[in-house]
A and B are shown apart, each in its own frame.
Chain A
Amino acid sequence: MIHYSGNVSIQLNVNREIHEVVVMPQDTLLRVMREKIGYTGPKAGCENGDCGACTVLMDGKPVKACLMLAVEAVGKEVLTVEGLEDTEIQKAFISEGGFQCGFCTAGFLMNAFALLETNPDADEAEKKDWLSANLCRCTGYEGIEKALTLAQKRIQEKNNNKR
């Protein structure tokens, strides 16, 4: 078990770059990313694990960055929305109206991206299981559902072409 106390210098791998930061052990990953590294894509919607706006991937799995300590991310690969580049889910969110105000979008994108990476053939129940971890207040979820369906279709087509 690693013990931390007082200010500690740690290395965080965020979006494929190593960032050296000084943190307190109680600092959350969300606040360290936003305030010390400069990734403001993940949002503080509740800082209580309820809204999912801060969702990032840690070694490919979605986690709520407001419920993780920065020191827990040492040695892991963290991916934020700023690290997504031209993905199917981003394109589908734009074309299908997956957002309005955009505040929840980073969290939804990361969660949906991870779902399609983990199981591109996820059925409706599994999609609901994953995406009900995030809250959106603008869209009524119609655009998000359509975006997920479209991105999934495109990914499945790509995978079929590879076979």
Chain B
Amino acid sequence: MNTKDGIGTSLTRKESLDKVSGRVIYGGDNMTPQMLYAAQKTSPHAHAKIIKIDTEKAKGMKGIKAIFTGDDYKDNLGLYLCDKPPVARNVVRHYGEVVAAVVADTYANATAAADAIAVEYEVMKPILSPLEALSDDAYTIHEEMGSYSHIKPIHPEPGTNVANRTKIRKGNPTEAFKSAHVTIETFVEIPPGDHVAMEPRVAIAEIKKTGYVHILSSTQAPFVVKGLMHQFFGIDQGKIIVKAPLIGGGFGGKAGIQLEGLAYLLSQKVGGRPVKLVNTREEDLTGSPGHIGLQAKIKIAADAEGKIMGMDMDYYFNSGAYADYAVNVSRAAAISCTGPYYVPNIRCDSMCVYTNMPFATAYRGFGHIEMSFAVERAMDELANALKMDPLELRIKNGIKPHDTTPVQSVLNESTGDIIKCFEEVGAMLGGDIGATQQLENNTVRVKGVTGLWKAPAMPTNTDAGAILTFNSDGSCNLNTGVVEIGQGTKTGLAQIVSERLGIPVDKVHVVMEVDTSVSPSDWATAASRGLMMAGMATLEACEDAENQIKEIASAVLRVPKRDLKVDGERVFVPDEPKIGLNLSEVVLGYVYPNGNAIYGQVIGSGKYIAKHLTDLDPETGEGHPDLEWTLGAEGVEIEVNLNTGKYKILKAVCCIDVGKVISPALARGQIVGGMAMGMGYTTMEGFTFNDRGQVTNGVLRDYKIMRYGDEPEYQVKFLETPQQDGPYGARGLGEQSVIGMPGAIANALSRAVGKGMNQIPLTPEKVWKTSMEVKR
């Protein structure tokens, strides 16, 4: 290609200058004189009956247009399982749950009125862990579960607190455990926590007199919102217009449906006027969903050489009060329940369990970060039991093409090379992973490694589309349904167009905002599938456009189409390049010297839909839900002071097989960002609760995430085993690097203190306490 901007080049993002100049308009930056403002009132209790909501005083306050409580809407909403009233009705099931909303002329007046609403509660005892929720004497958090509608692939168990159970049955695990040389068993725990995207969620809803519903939302999934607004409220699909501007970070927390349903109901209450609903940070942390928690029991059986014979697992995912995405998170974890290792015999039950904690939605890694923590702690326990090098054990068991996954689908040649990933990670860490280096002052230096894998968890008919139109200067406009949430996919797609058609990337304009009424359908910007799927659709659109360009040129130049080539902003005959036309002469139709014109605008279109995917067998989990697998390995080197428990992650490394690197800088950004998120998750994050189930760190001052200066040295390596059905061989990479960090850090710290560190977050205090226990 005659362009310097194609595949493998690091370009700056298309929207860069606007981002460093304060000129990007995010959802919350939209303000119009017609707009009304909403405020939410939240519950201070984790579990309570609502006895009375007194709105009298609030109603009479300045500027108040409407007050909305649970009685205002009789049905439930829910992504996969309809279990959640838009605001609490009769009962509160988690701390921070919204119990009323107010619409007023100004935000200040709305919040003042929300404060003036008096709610009388009868406080009840909360359930604060999945295992507690599954105990015989636990009460049922959703008594009416049997009446909730849900999608077919999930399996709620009415009368219990299990919102979904996914069973994996492969081979004969009982026999494997009987004949094993060594078996180990471990138990891990992760608290629920939050994404902490820097932009709190926002939705602006307006209902026009014509019936058109306009929603502007900080959503990763405008087409999901469109579909659900139809499903919940019976609005005609064509009358729902969802716009997603640039988003201030998503990480899964803005997938599915968030504030859109409530914003719509509030607009309805004020005659369809535009209502702006923005979460405060505190509402965003505990009112809206966060990341899932986990308790897990995991057993591994191996032979004397360290080959894994079987695994037996119970994953108890902590859904919190509502199911949202959690029922699919637990399912996704089941699909890859062994981590990236070949295991012939498996029993796994992955459960999504209700508790009275803030509820969970998708989070970067989608069940894999939690699953991986359990598996990778167990793998290090197994290495200890076998007195084997932890990296060697992983290399011995790493999954390869033609092996079967837990759901018995067969990995193909497009699957990445995890063995090489392990070797690279070992080399980046200087080898000798199992060693503990003693330094002065009771300080040690330790390493930890993990393997990781992930396939997108998504509907079997997940789609994407691309429309390519042209301008009279020969430049083009790319319109896709991918939302720009910071990952840079729009720039990557522009590079694909540039590479394919030979147009400089500066002349490939991308439509930044997604508008469901004009953008082609695209399931959601989630599951690390944007670049791959929209990339394939984009390639098809390029091919379509190229064909049209050749058709026009063929007529004008009197050359067969097959003899023409499009490159360098021209269409021409390669062996006689003078015979040709500039793209600018053809893309809006060709005009002959006498004024006659032919053809019209070149409009390329392309589409993609996942192929051959199936749901899981409810009894064995057998199926083919996994489109493509991204594999990788990660590791850390940590210096730990055993006197104080304080530690510093010196180095974090990742080697990942991404098929093809489209943009090295953007790809590295995703990997490093994911590693940082995983490090925060492991070392300092997670909600803390008192025994009444109240979140005690529900503000950013107390909910710690990594700050500038906490970061280690990052090392990232890419492998490129091509994804044969991906654009230029590329596959997904947005989430993966978060997955291995908890295991790597925990394995290193466990080595340092001489005992398994299995409860996230691994705070210095915990390290110190465990170290003291071991000493005695």
Q: Report whether chain A binds chain B.
A: yes
Residues of A within 8 A of B (CB): 24, 27, 34-35, 39-51, 53, 80-82, 84, 90, 93-95, 97-106, 109, 127-128, 131-132, 134-145
Identify 16 new A-B residue pairs, CB closer than 8 A, beyond the known A101-B250, A109-B20, A141-B708: A34-B29, A42-B22, A51-B281, A82-B23, A90-B20, A95-B12, A100-B486, A101-B485, A101-B486, A103-B26, A127-B709, A132-B709, A135-B705, A138-B198, A142-B672, A144-B708
Question: Quick one: closest B residue to A109, CB to CB?
Answer: B20
Residues of B within 8 A of A (CB): 12, 15-17, 19-26, 28-29, 31, 108, 195-200, 246-251, 278, 280-281, 485-488, 665-666, 668-669, 672-677, 699-701, 705-711, 714
Which 9 A-B pairs give the minimum distances between C-beta atoms? Answer: A41-B22, A140-B676, A101-B486, A103-B248, A128-B709, A100-B486, A102-B19, A81-B22, A50-B700
Q: Which residues of B contact A143 (CB under 8 A)?
A: 669, 672
In the complex, the answer to whether A94 meets B20 with C-beta atoms within 8 Å is yes
Output the least CB separation between A102 and chain B (Å).
4
Q: Which residues of B contact A48 (CB under 8 A)?
A: 281, 699-701
Question: Quick one: closest B residue to A132, CB to CB?
Answer: B707
Q: Which residues of B contact A84 (CB under 8 A)?
A: 20-21
Pick the residue among B31, B488, B709 that contacts A100 (CB under 8 A).
B488
Q: Which residues of A contact B486 (CB under 8 A)?
A: 99-102, 138
The CA of A90 and the CA of B665, in the complex, are separated in Å by 17
Output the least CB separation between A47 and chain B (Å).
7
Q: Which residues of B contact A100 (CB under 8 A)?
A: 249, 486-488, 669, 673
In the complex, the answer to whether A136 meets B198 with C-beta atoms within 8 Å is yes
The CA of A42 and the CA of B22, in the complex, are separated in Å by 7
In the complex, the answer to whether A39 meets B22 with C-beta atoms within 8 Å is yes
Output the least CB separation between B704 and chain A (Å).
10
Q: Which residues of A contact B12 (CB under 8 A)?
A: 94-95
In the complex, the answer to whether A139 meets B676 with C-beta atoms within 8 Å is yes
The CA of A93 and the CA of B278, in the complex, are separated in Å by 28
In the complex, the answer to whether B676 meets A44 with C-beta atoms within 8 Å is no
> A99 and B20 in contact (CB under 8 A), knowing A137-B197, A138-B486, A141-B710?
yes
21 A–B contact pairs at CB < 8 A?
A: A39-B22, A40-B26, A44-B278, A45-B198, A45-B199, A81-B21, A97-B666, A98-B20, A99-B19, A100-B673, A103-B248, A105-B19, A106-B22, A127-B708, A132-B708, A132-B709, A136-B198, A138-B673, A139-B673, A141-B706, A145-B708
In the complex, the answer to whether A94 meets B17 with C-beta atoms within 8 Å is yes
In the complex, the answer to whether A145 meets B200 with C-beta atoms within 8 Å is no
In the complex, the answer to whether A141 meets B709 with C-beta atoms within 8 Å is yes
The CA of A104 and the CA of B666, in the complex, are separated in Å by 18
Question: Quick one: closest B residue to A42, CB to CB?
Answer: B22
In the complex, the answer to whether A102 meets B24 with C-beta atoms within 8 Å is yes
Question: Quick one: closest A residue to B249, CB to CB?
Answer: A101
In the complex, the answer to whether A101 meets B199 with C-beta atoms within 8 Å is yes
Q: Which residues of B contact A94 (CB under 8 A)?
A: 12, 16-17, 20
The CA of A92 and the CA of B76, in the complex, are separated in Å by 49
In the complex, the answer to whether B31 meets A35 with C-beta atoms within 8 Å is yes
In the complex, the answer to whether A40 meets B247 with C-beta atoms within 8 Å is no
> A140 and B714 in contact (CB under 8 A), knowing A84-B21, A100-B669, A105-B19?
yes
Secondary structure call for the A interface: loop
Pick the residue among A81, A103, A137, A142 that contacts B251 (CB under 8 A).
A137
Question: Quick one: closest A residue to B710, CB to CB?
Answer: A141
Q: Which residues of B contact A49 (CB under 8 A)?
A: 701
In the complex, the answer to whether B707 meets A50 with C-beta atoms within 8 Å is no
Question: Quick one: closest B residue to A95, CB to CB?
Answer: B12
Output the least CB separation between B742 and chain A (Å).
16
Question: Quick one: closest B residue to A143, CB to CB?
Answer: B669
> A46 and B706 in contact (CB under 8 A), knowing A40-B25, A94-B12, A101-B485?
no
Output the least CB separation between B264 and chain A (Å).
23
The CA of A144 and the CA of B711, in the complex, are separated in Å by 11
The CA of A99 and the CA of B22, in the complex, are separated in Å by 13
Q: Which residues of B contact A131 (CB under 8 A)?
A: 708-709
Q: Which residues of B contact A134 (CB under 8 A)?
A: 707-708
Q: Which residues of A contact B200 (CB under 8 A)?
A: 44-45
The CA of A143 and the CA of B488, in the complex, are separated in Å by 14
Q: Which residues of A contact B19 (CB under 8 A)?
A: 99, 102, 105
Q: Which residues of B contact A42 (CB under 8 A)?
A: 22
The CA of A134 and the CA of B705, in the complex, are separated in Å by 11
Output the least CB separation between A140 and chain B (Å).
3
Pick the residue among A41, A97, A135 that contacts B23 (CB under 8 A).
A41
Q: Which residues of A contact B673 (CB under 8 A)?
A: 100, 137-140
In the complex, the answer to whether B675 meets A102 with C-beta atoms within 8 Å is no
In the complex, the answer to whether B669 meets A43 with C-beta atoms within 8 Å is no
The CA of A27 and the CA of B111, in the complex, are separated in Å by 13
The CA of A131 and the CA of B709, in the complex, are separated in Å by 8
Q: Which residues of A contact B249 (CB under 8 A)?
A: 100-101, 103, 137-138
Q: Which residues of A contact B709 (CB under 8 A)?
A: 127-128, 131-132, 141
The CA of A139 and the CA of B672, in the complex, are separated in Å by 7
Output the least CB separation between A97 and chain B (Å).
5
Pick the residue among B21, B108, B707 that contacts A41 (CB under 8 A).
B21
Output the least CB separation between B474 and chain A (Å).
26
The CA of A45 and the CA of B282, in the complex, are separated in Å by 10
Question: Quick one: closest A residue to B716, CB to CB?
Answer: A142
Output the least CB separation between B385 and chain A (Å).
34
Output the least CB separation between A133 and chain B (Å).
8
Q: Which residues of B contact A47 (CB under 8 A)?
A: 280-281
The CA of A102 and the CA of B35, in the complex, are separated in Å by 25
> A43 and B199 in contact (CB under 8 A), knowing A50-B699, A101-B485, A102-B15?
yes
The CA of A105 and the CA of B246, in the complex, are separated in Å by 14
The CA of A46 and the CA of B672, in the complex, are separated in Å by 25
> A53 and B198 in contact (CB under 8 A), knowing A84-B21, A100-B488?
yes
Q: Which residues of A contact B707 (CB under 8 A)?
A: 132, 134-135, 141
The CA of A26 and the CA of B677, in the complex, are separated in Å by 36
Question: Quick one: closest A residue to B15, CB to CB?
Answer: A102
Pick the residue among B16, B20, B248, B281 that contacts A101 (CB under 8 A).
B248
In the complex, the answer to whether B248 meets A142 with C-beta atoms within 8 Å is no
The CA of A137 and the CA of B488, in the complex, are separated in Å by 15
The CA of A140 and the CA of B681, in the complex, are separated in Å by 12
Q: Which residues of A contact B197 (CB under 8 A)?
A: 101, 103, 137
Q: Which residues of B contact A102 (CB under 8 A)?
A: 15, 19, 24, 246, 248, 486
The CA of A82 and the CA of B20, in the complex, are separated in Å by 9
The CA of A23 and the CA of B487, in the complex, are separated in Å by 38
The CA of A139 and the CA of B200, in the complex, are separated in Å by 18
In the complex, the answer to whether A137 meets B198 with C-beta atoms within 8 Å is yes
Q: Which residues of A contact B16 (CB under 8 A)?
A: 94
Q: Which residues of B contact A46 (CB under 8 A)?
A: 281, 699-700
The CA of A35 and the CA of B247, in the complex, are separated in Å by 20
Tell which of B195, B706, B714 has the most Cβ of chain A within 10 Å.
B706
Tell which of A34, A35, A93, A100 has the most Cβ of chain B within 10 Å.
A100
The CA of A39 and the CA of B17, in the complex, are separated in Å by 16
The CA of A34 and the CA of B675, in the complex, are separated in Å by 34
Output the least CB separation between B335 and chain A (Å).
27
The CA of A98 and the CA of B12, in the complex, are separated in Å by 11
Output the least CB separation between B204 and chain A (Å).
14
In the complex, the answer to whether B22 meets A137 with C-beta atoms within 8 Å is no
In the complex, the answer to whether A80 meets B22 with C-beta atoms within 8 Å is yes
The CA of A41 and the CA of B248, in the complex, are separated in Å by 13
In the complex, the answer to whether B676 meets A141 with C-beta atoms within 8 Å is yes
In the complex, the answer to whether B21 meets A137 with C-beta atoms within 8 Å is no
In the complex, the answer to whether A43 meets B198 with C-beta atoms within 8 Å is yes
Pick the residue among A35, A103, A106 that contacts B199 (CB under 8 A).
A103
In the complex, the answer to whether A140 meets B675 with C-beta atoms within 8 Å is yes
In the complex, the answer to whether A51 meets B22 with C-beta atoms within 8 Å is no
In the complex, the answer to whether B198 meets A103 with C-beta atoms within 8 Å is yes
In the complex, the answer to whether A101 meets B198 with C-beta atoms within 8 Å is yes
The CA of A24 and the CA of B62, in the complex, are separated in Å by 15
